[in-house]
Every structure is written in structure tokens, then in C-alpha cells.
Amino acid sequence: MLSLRAMLLPSLSSRVPSSSMAEEGGGEPPKGSLGWAIDENFGSFVKLAQKVNAEGAALQGSGWVWLGLDKELKRLVVETTANQDPLVTKGPGLVPLLGIDVWEHAYYLQYKNVRPDYLKNIWKVINWKYASEVYDKESS
Amino acid sequence: MAARSLLIRKTLATVLRRDSAALGAPAAAHSRGLHTFTLPDLSYDYGALEPAISGEIMELHHKKHHQTYVTNYNKALEQLHDALPKGDASTIVKLQSAIKFNGGGHINHSIFWKNLAPVREGGGEPPKGSLGWAIDEHFGSFEKLVQKVNAEGAALQGSGWVWLGLDKELKRLVVETTANQDPLVTKGPGLVPLLGIDVWEHAYYLQYKNVRPDYLKNIWKVINWKYASEVYDNESS
């Protein structure tokens, strides 16, 4: 559901990648309602990427780092889960929009022990179209 | 306040000393009374355990993974050292996760390097003497022990370790697993690690990919039973 602002000022509903995005979260960032929600909940797309990367790097052992929608509180959250625990184990109202696997098998052959480099680079191939679809469906 | 922080420091020191036989280089003493830790050297070359474990894995595992645990352990201990005399309970409690994870990583890997030896230095030779007898007594045979360790190691969900331990209270050998970098003592205060096998993916992935069972099958070729026997004899007398 497009906000009134997005409908009246369509030029604001797409964001131009800045140089800082190339460092953290580079790639085709989300537009539309998910894009606005990210700005609202985290301040900016870059801040979201920084938060996800920090939590993903700090995860002890094997697990996942998630961007989720809390359907009850109507807000976006960044969460981690251990091993193969699905996001719903952190709260029954949580819907996964984006999950990044930080098990060593997800990156070791290429990035060796340097999980932060994997996290920095994965944003280049994140499919925000899918995350936006899920967000739009689940937040209507 | 000073007495309490001394008590906590002594308790920490006792726990650390128990497993410190394998920790190698003596702790560096600060003038402020904080002991920090250093990465222990291996007593063999990185490539000396091939083909069971590749030199590439050994180097990354020691120089990067273990070193990072040491660095972060020291950082957490410094922060604890500052928070204790202030009575900053919130910070003290917040640091426990980093201490357990990184301290556990240092303890576990220090034992692990001693658990391995090149073939030409006795790696792979099954245990003789009292530990050999104890293994037969508790597991039926050496082969049965290996099967049990491999089964539990392969089945471990996520990251962790599989251990052969001595239960000092019940005077028996046990096979246990721990998650992440939890030391064996977290499974029971009377448990002494004799042999630990790292089943984190970084311990085998470059060589064995996803086939953890192949790594487990092969690592027995470089297990240093002389060390495990020494620990067993010391702790069971």
C-alpha cells in the first residue's frame, strides 16, 4: 500500500544509491513501502545494513541474521537465530523478509574466516523485490 | 570491595588453571595484576598432519581462529578487570558471554593442538597402558569408542566439540558434546577433557566440504594418545 507521500511525489519513492551505500549495503535498494518502512524503523538503508552486519558478525557459532516484520507491533526488526531455528522461534508474530545464513559453510570456501567480508558483499545480490512482496502482503 | 574482587579473581584463576596444563605459554602478568593470554605455539608444522588435516586448515585454524579467540578473550578480561573494582554489575554480567565464548575457544583449541600429532611422532597410535585399559572397560573396545565419538560428532547440530572425558567423581570415561565454544566442564564440574575434536565447519570445510563424517574418520590417524594418557594418569591418581 503506497503512502500518500509516495503517490503525490513519485520522485521520492526511489532512492539514489550514495557512495556510503557502496560500502555498506551496495546494490539495488528496496523501493516503495518497504523502503519507507526501513527509513522509518532504522533511519536509513545504510543503518539497516550496518545493524544486520554487526549482528551477523557477532553471532556466536552457527545461525542466521534476519530482517523481519513484527505483525503485531507493526514494525521491522533485526533478529538472529541459532543453528537452523526459524525466525518464528523469536516471536510468533515475526515474518521473515530477509535472512542471511552465517553458518561457516555459507562463506568459508570463498571468504575463509572473514565473515564480515561476506556480509559486506552479500548486499550486492540481495533480492529486495521478493522482500518487498512479502512485506506488502503481510502488512496489508 | 577489594576482597570481593580478589575472591572473584582467585575463582576465575582456579577455573582457568584446571585446564591450563595445555594452555602453553605462561600468562603475561600485568603490573595491575591482570593475567592475559597468548596464542600457544604448535609443536609441529602446519603441514605435518597431512593428509588427515590440510596445512591450509591448520594455519587458518591456529593463526586466525584461535588467535581471534585469544585477542577477544583478553579484551573481555580487560573490560572485566575495569568493571570489577567499580562494582559495575551490569557490565560484569554483560561480559560473561564474551568471556565464555572466547575463553572457551582459547581453552578448547589449546587442548586440541596437544591432541594432535604427526604420524612420525606417534600420531594415530592407539592408547596403551591405563587409558587403553580404561577405554576397553568403559566402551568395550577402542573401535567402539571411535564409533561413538564419530556418531556423536556427526550428529552435533551447528557448531561444537565432541569430547572423550574423565569423570573424576564417578571414576569413568565419558563421551560428551558441547555447543559452540563451551568447555567440557560446562557439562559437569568433575569432567576433565582428555581428547576434544573440533566439529565447527572451519575445522574441516576447506578439505572435506560438507562431509563431516569423512573428517571424523580421518582425524584418528593423527590423534596424539600420549598426551591424553598423560592427562588421564595425572587426573585419575
What confidence category does residue B4 fall into, taking pLDDT thresholds of 50, 70 and 90?
low
Please check the confidence at residue A20 and state whether its pLDDT lies above 50. no
Residue in chain A closest to B101 (alpha carbons) equals A60
Please check the confidence at residue A10 and state whether its pLDDT lies above 70. no
Does residue A3 form part of some domain? Answer: no
Please check the confidence at residue B207 and state whether its pLDDT lies above 60. yes
Residues of B in contact with A60 (CB under 8 A): 97, 101, 180-181
Does residue A49 form part of some domain? Answer: yes
What confidence category does residue A140 fall into, taking pLDDT thresholds of 50, 70 and 90?
confident
Instruction: Report the pLDDT value the prediction gives residue B33, as an integer from 0 to 100.
Output: 84
A118-127, B27-36, B169-178: range with lowest mean pLDDT: B27-36
Instruction: Report the pLDDT value the prediction gives residue A18, as an integer from 0 to 100.
Output: 46
Residues 6+ apart with CB under 8 A from B223: B115, B116, B117, B123, B124, B195
Q: Average pLDDT, whole number, for chain B?
A: 91
B18 against B134, higher pLDDT: B134
Does residue A130 form part of some domain? Answer: yes
Residues of B in contact with A82 (CB under 8 A): 158
Burial B94-113 (b: 16+ CB within 10 A, else e): ebeebbbbbbbbbbbbbbbb
Task: Give A65-120 as a 3 state SS string.
Answer: EEEEEECCCCEEEEEEEECCCCHHHHCCCEEEEEEEECCHHHCHHHHCCCHHHHHH
Instruction: Report the pLDDT value the prediction gives residue A22, as an integer from 0 to 100.
Output: 46
Please check the confidence at residue A3 and state whether its pLDDT lies above 80. no
Residue in chain B closest to A85 (alpha carbons) equals B158
Q: What is the CATH number of the domain that holds A89?
A: 3.55.40.20
Instruction: Report the pLDDT value the prediction gives residue B23, as an integer from 0 to 100.
Output: 59
Q: What is the pLDDT of residues A52-89, one digit of tens each?
A: 999 999 999 999 999 999 999 999 999 999 999 999 99
> Hey, are the CB atoms on B68 and A83 less than 8 Å from each other?
no
Please check the confidence at residue B170 and state whether its pLDDT lies above 70. yes
Element (H, E) at B14: helix B2-18
Instruction: Note which residues in 33-92 of chain A have CB less than 8 A from chain B.
Output: 60-63, 82-84
Q: What is the pLDDT of residues B52-93, one digit of tens each?
A: 999 999 999 999 999 999 999 999 999 999 999 999 999 999
Mean pLDDT for A99-128 is 98
Question: In whole angstroms, how far apart are CA A104 and each of A64, B97, B177, B185?
Answer: 11, 20, 19, 25
Residue A86 is part of which domain span?
Answer: 25-139
Q: B165 φ, ψ to 5°?
A: -130, 160
- The span from the CA of B211 to the CA of B110, in Å, is 25
Mean pLDDT for B172-185 is 98
Residues of B in contact with A112 (CB under 8 A): 60, 64, 206
A and B: number of Cβ contacts within 8 A: 45
- The span from the CA of B149 to the CA of B194, in Å, is 13
What confidence category does residue A19 fall into, taking pLDDT thresholds of 50, 70 and 90?
very low
pTM: 0.86
Residues of A in contact with B97 (CB under 8 A): 60
Q: How far is A112 from chain B (nearest CA, A)?
A: 8
> Hey, are the CB atoms on B200 and A109 less than 8 Å from each other?
no
Task: Give A8-59 as a 3 state SS string.
Answer: HCHHHHCCCCCHHHHHCCCCCCCCHHHHHHHHHHHCCHHHHHHHHHHHHHHC
> Hey, are the CB atoms on B201 and A60 less than 8 Å from each other?
no
Q: How far is A82 from chain B (nearest CA, A)?
A: 8
Instruction: Report the pLDDT value the prediction gives residue A12, as an integer from 0 to 100.
Output: 44
Q: How far is B158 from chain A (nearest CA, A)?
A: 5
> Hey, are the CB atoms on B202 and A108 less than 8 Å from each other?
yes
Percent with pLDDT over 70 in chain B: 87
Please check the confidence at residue A111 and state whether its pLDDT lies above 50. yes
Does residue A4 form part of some domain? Answer: no
* Long-range pairs, A51-56, Cβ under 8 A, ≥24: A51/A78, A52/A78, A52/A100, A52/A119, A53/A24, A53/A116, A53/A119, A53/A120, A55/A80, A56/A80, A56/A100, A56/A102, A56/A115, A56/A119
- The span from the CA of B217 to the CA of B149, in Å, is 10
- The span from the CA of A25 to the CA of A31, in Å, is 14
Please check the confidence at residue B36 and state whether its pLDDT lies above 60. yes
Please check the confidence at residue B198 and state whether its pLDDT lies above 60. yes
What confidence category does residue B26 fall into, taking pLDDT thresholds of 50, 70 and 90?
very low
> Hey, are the CB atoms on B201 and A63 less than 8 Å from each other?
no
Alpha-carbon dihedral of residues B133, B137, B140, B146, nearest 10 degrees?
-60
Q: How many domains does chain A have?
A: 1
ipTM over 0.85: yes
Does residue A62 form part of some domain? Answer: yes
A7 against A94, higher pLDDT: A94
Q: How far is B159 from chain A (nearest CA, A)?
A: 6
What confidence category does residue A9 fall into, taking pLDDT thresholds of 50, 70 and 90?
low
What confidence category does residue A11 fall into, taking pLDDT thresholds of 50, 70 and 90?
very low
> Hey, are the CB atoms on A104 and B180 less than 8 Å from each other?
no
Residue in chain A closest to B159 (alpha carbons) equals A61
Does residue A30 form part of some domain? Answer: yes
**The three grid cell numbers given for residue B110, joined into one nine-digit string:** 589449546
Residue in chain A closest to B104 (alpha carbons) equals A60
B231 against B2, higher pLDDT: B231
Does residue A102 form part of some domain? Answer: yes
Q: What is the pLDDT of residues B96-145, one digit of tens each?
A: 999 999 999 999 999 999 999 999 999 999 999 999 999 999 999 999 99
Instruction: Report the pLDDT value the prediction gives residue A7, as an integer from 0 to 100.
Output: 52
Q: Is B236 helix (H, G, I), strand (E, B) or coil?
A: coil
Does residue A66 form part of some domain? Answer: yes
Question: In whole angstroms, how far apart are CA A123 and each of A24, A132, B9, B70, B117?
Answer: 8, 15, 44, 30, 42
In this complex, the residue of B64, B101, B158 whose CB is nearest that of residue A113 is: B64
